[in-house]
Structure 1
Amino acid sequence: MRIALYEPEIAGNVGSVLRLGACFGVGVDLIEPLGFAWDDRRVRRAAMDYIDHVAITRHASFDAFRASAGESRLVLFTTKADQSVYDFTFRPDDVLLFGKESAGVPAAVADACDARLRIPIRPQVRSLNLAISTALALGEAMRQTESLPGG
């Protein structure tokens, strides 16, 4: 299982996702362009020393990323989906894709995905923070595939 971030814009969110990946043994793919300089100190501040314990792969474009994913299913998390994350059956080799904080992913990227899921939240609010969404989705996917560390 892997996490993929499409053109992330906020260094602190990426740092938090890198720390999440380190803690759960899940690699993180970053699809460029990034909305910040890679050496932004906010990435390392959020990731702390965990950044040295996660496999990070940077991709120049979505097409380059997609080509590297092989046969793995690409599972997009979006507020525009109808299917709940809790009504989906994950596989151990799924790639969990999250869009940029301000705009998600373009239609062409969404269309290239094998599934589109949403995390159910109250209708009065728009969305969760990227790092929180990633943690909830990864936790459910790993729970279903029984791949939680120490479990």
Structure 2
Amino acid sequence: MHNLNIVLVEPQIPQNTGNISRTCAVTGARLHLVRPLGFEVSDKHLKRAGLDYWDKLDITYYDNLEDFFMKNRDGHFFYFTTKGLHVHSEAEYPDNSFLVFGREDKGLPEELLHDNPENCVRIPMRNELRSLNLSNSVAIAVYEVLRQWDYPDLSREGKLTKYEW
């Protein structure tokens, strides 16, 4: 059993968190939300984006970043940032990896990035543009890790509803 963890530090946009929740549910990744959140968890936009997968989601809440790190000392942390020194697909993600993403408008605290330069990764993109959407970035990251792990516990084949292959 592989453990993949997605960490959102102070997410601000409920639709992004809802989309990320759905990605976590369909891939088996655990979701960690670090407060303060820019929305209420009961927000209709959050629920709409996650659709009917809320009961399939493994989610943990933390009061702040310090609380998160105190409760997750044994993980392998990768900080996804436009300021990263390494390409995300060149990193090797061991079991119990934590993919950490910052808030949509500010990213992760620079002190955290400065103190962990070897674990700061970047999804390549054009320099003149600010960043990818948070939920898209999480999806790219999750599927890179799962690709490296050979997609454990995930179905590789679909089936038609009206026909046989």
**Which is further off, 103-112 or 126-135?**
103-112
Are 1:69 and 2:76 an aligned pair? no
1:124 counterpart (118, 125, 128):
128
Code of the aligned partner of 1:150: S
What is the alpha-carbon distance in structure 2 between the residues aligned to residue 106 and residue 86 of structure 1? 22
2:159 matched residue in structure 1: none
1:103 matched residue in structure 2: 106
**Which is further off, 73-82 or 118-127?**
118-127
Are 1:79 and 2:82 an aligned pair? yes
Q: Deviations over 1:81-130 (max 9, x none)?
A: 12001211111210000000000011233346561000001223211000
Shift of 1:33: 0.2
1:50 matched residue in structure 2: 53
Listed as ranges, the gaps of 5+ residues in structure 2 are 157-165
2:27 matched residue in structure 1: 24
Please say if residues 92 and 142 of structure 1, whose CA atoms lie closer than 8 Å, have aligned partners that are also in contact.
Answer: no
What is the alpha-carbon distance in structure 2 between the residues aligned to residue 117 and residue 71 of structure 1? 20
2:160 matched residue in structure 1: none
Give TM-score, length-normalised by structure 1: 0.94
Code of the aligned partner of 1:135: A
How much is the aligned-residue C-alpha RMSD, in angstroms? 1.4
What is the alpha-carbon distance in structure 1 between the residues aligned to residue 66 and residue 72 of structure 2? 10
Count of aligned pairs: 151
Listed as ranges, the gaps of 5+ residues in structure 1 are none
Q: Deviations over 1:66-85 (max 9, x none)?
A: 11212111110000012001
What is the alpha-carbon distance in structure 1 between the residues aligned to residue 12 and residue 146 of structure 2? 26
Give TM-score, length-normalised by structure 2: 0.86
Runs of 4+ in 1 over 4 A off after TM superposition: 111-114
Shift of 1:147: 3.6
2:149 matched residue in structure 1: 145
Map 1:2-17 to 2 at 5 A: 2-17=5-20
Please say if residues 29 and 59 of structure 1, whose CA atoms lie closer than 8 Å, have aligned partners that are also in contact.
Answer: yes
What is the alpha-carbon distance in structure 2 between the residues aligned to residue 110 and residue 122 of structure 1? 21
